[in-house]
């Protein structure tokens, strides 16, 4: 193998390794844990991590001000308070399942960067009288 070929192979290997490392770092930094509130409470090592919590919006907990929404989510066992500044999804309501993405602050409140409302498991037609059975 000539010196020029060896340099090209080594240079190509360095470029491939650098691209693989950049891809790994990108995937690692964008990884978000998906947990219930009780699972998160049992994982103290994730307190400083960016997390995604699943839970039901606690009844009577929603308080809206000018540009801030405060509410609590629970899995029926553990409850976390959430602060969110941004538009809420159309399906957001008390008693509805949501995913909250953000970080836990020093006071134990989730500072949410995103709130996603999940769809009900069962679809119910709003106007059942409009449905005509197939022949």
pLDDT in tens, the chain (135 residues): 788 888 888 888 889 988 888 887 776 656 665 799 999 999 888 888 888 999 999 999 999 988 899 999 999 999 999 999 988 888 899 999 999 999 999 999 999 999 998 776 666 677 777 777 777
Give the count of alpha carbons within 13 A of 111, CB side only: 9
Q: Are 84 and 112 in contact (CB under 8 A)?
A: yes
Output Rg (C-alpha) for the chain, integer angstroms. 23
Question: How far apart (Å, rounded) are the C-alpha atoms in residues 122 and 115?
Answer: 21
Q: What is the DSSP annotation of 85-98?
A: -SPPPTT--TT-EE
Q: Note the Cα 100 to chain centre separation in Å.
A: 5
């Amino acid at each position: 193998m000539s010196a020029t070929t060896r340099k090209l192979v080594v240079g190509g290997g360095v470029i491939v390794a650098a691209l693989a490392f950049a891809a790994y770092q990108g995937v690692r930094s964008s990884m978000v844990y998906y947990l219930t509130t009780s699972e998160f409470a049992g994982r103290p090592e994730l307190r400083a991590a960016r997390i995604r919590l699943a839970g039901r919006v606690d009844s009577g907990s929603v308080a809206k001000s000018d540009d801030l929404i405060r509410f609590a989510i629970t899995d029926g066992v553990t409850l976390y308070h959430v602060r969110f500044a941004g538009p809420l999804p159309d399906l957001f309501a008390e008693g509805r399942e949501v995913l909250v993405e953000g970080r836990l602050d020093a006071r134990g409140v989730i500072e949410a960067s995103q709130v996603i409302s999940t769809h009900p498991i069962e679809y119910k037609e709003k106007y059942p009288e409009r449905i005509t059975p197939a022949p």
